[in-house]
Amino acid sequence: MDSIIVTGNGPLSGQIPIAGAKNACLTLMPATLLSDEPLTLTNAPRLSDIRTMTALLASLGAEVSSLQDGKVLAMSSHDLTSHKADYDIVRKMRASILVLGPMLARDGQAVVSLPGGCAIGARPVDLHLRALEALGAELDLRDGYVHAKAPGGLKGGVIEFPFVSVGATENALMAATLAKGTTVIRSAAKEPEIVDLALCLRKMGAQIEGEGTDTITVQGVDRLHGATHPVVTDRIELGTYMLAPAICGGEVELLGGRRDLVGAFCNKLDEAGIEVTETGRGLSVKRREDHIKAVDVTTEPFPGFPTDLQAQMMALLATADGVSVLEEKIFENRFMHAPELMRMGAKIDVHGGTATVTGVDRLKGAPVMATDLRASVSLILAGLAAEGATTVSRVYHLDRGYEHVVRKLQGVGALIERVPGA
């Protein structure tokens, strides 16, 4: 397996282009199943998860063409040949469950494997199923598959989530577009990816109100048509690269960056002594002083601090002045990067969902292992500021969520290279 070697090399300078959002694109792609007309996505990220979703849609009979070096996805589901999403594909990526709602809404049937995914704790799909049942779906779980039917089509209803779930909100929103009557989704997720999905569905002819709030109302329509839609900027990639100059100094402009996508994150950077400035092309980031101030962080659903930036923030706080406390409230088992950062000299004490980080003067390069997508990039960030070389193994996780990470960091002066495995 490939490894990435990072050597601390001082301040960074230059520009990093931010790609379209992985999580948004993985949600938008299944929307093609709602219509027999073409759906085209621009600003698509070039990632292994996108290829996995492409393979899943193709297995159902959808046509997906990757154009302009992968930045444009032209899709058509005019003639679905299957309504079964097989385990062999679904196990690779949890977002695969998002084909369930669209297939059920359009054709009244779907058989979808229960998903696998990354090892950051239990991420059950029961809220997805509860939402579809509220729209009249008949569900049967057997042999590791969800067998779903709606012989007379889905019917509008009230979906009341006990807690916020991004994926379940997305599945419910897509299913509701073709349900007969009005659907009200309460305790809906507010993430930018939800808003982006609603914008795309509205272009396809859906009648949706309230996206970005905790109550979304959908008036079902008989059919949806084709559309072209740009994928929203990836706020997690944006936040990740904002931390690069924060960790090792210098100033970097993130092209395409938007403060509204990372507001709570920017507030914490400000507390830590990091200056974020809006430019005509994105966001510029630099330290106000040589040192970083300790801050406390609690992950929350949007618009709070994103769980997907917690590992990267821990890398920053590992060299801050003082003691920081990070509280993880979204996923359990999401501090698996802490022992690897400790191999580099970080002082971290983990108890349940809380990690206490005592800043040290300098991290030291070491061989470390990535345990999940965000953990892998946190180790790379730590390596940027460490003394000596850091070798990050199992970087296949990285390919799921960051396109050209080595090239982008090299472009701002980082000493980083990818080494093929034996």
At 122 the pLDDT is 46
pLDDT value, residue 375: 85
Whole-number pLDDT of residue 421: 77
Report the pLDDT value the prediction gives residue 94, as an integer from 0 to 100.
85
| Confidence at residue 121, expressed as pLDDT on a 0 to 100 scale | 42
User: Residue positions in the annotated binding site?
Assistant: 22-23, 94, 123-127, 308, 330
Per the annotation, the verdict on 118 as an active-site residue is: yes
Alpha-carbon distance 139 to 315, whole Å?
43
Q: Which amino acid is at 17?
A: P
Identify the pLDDT of residue 342. Answer: 97
* Binding-site entries for UDP-N-acetyl-alpha-D-glucosamine: 94, 123-127, 308, 330
Q: Which helix (H) or strand (E) holds 248?
A: helix 235-248
253: left (phi over 0), alpha (psi -120 to 50) or beta: beta
Instruction: Quote the CA–CA distance of 308 and 310 in Å, as a whole number.
Output: 6
Q: Are 184 and 159 in contact (CB under 8 A)?
A: yes
Instruction: Give me the pLDDT at residue 172, please.
Output: 98
pLDDT along the chain (422 residues), means of 10: 93 97 97 98 94 96 95 95 94 91 97 67 76 97 93 96 94 98 98 98 98 98 98 97 97 97 98 97 96 96 95 97 96 86 97 96 95 89 96 89 94 96 68
Residue 117: predicted pLDDT? 44
Instruction: Say if 3-19+233-419 and 22-230 have the same CATH topology.
Output: yes
Total Cβ atoms within 10 A of residue 124: 10
CA distance 391 to 231: 33
Query: With contact defined as beta carbons under 8 Å apart, do 104 and 175 qualify?
Result: yes
Q: Please say whether the structural domain 22-230 has been given the CATH code 3.20.20.60.
A: no
Q: How many angstroms separate the Cα of 415 from the Cα of each of 3, 236, 373, 409, 410? A: 14, 22, 21, 8, 6
For the residues of 185-243, what is the DSSP string, one character each? EES----HHHHHHHHHHHHTT-EEE-TTSSEEEEE--S----EEEEPPB-HHHHHHHHH
CATH number of 3-19+233-419, picked from 3.65.10.10, 3.50.50.60, 3.30.1370.10, 3.10.350.10 = 3.65.10.10
- Largest alpha-carbon pair distance within the chain? 65
What do you get for the CA distance between the two ends of the chain, in Å? 7
The domain spans of the chain are 3-19+233-419, 22-230
Catalytic hit among 118, 200, 248, 266:
118
pLDDT at 324: 98
What pLDDT score was predicted for residue 332? 74
Residue 422 has a pLDDT of 59
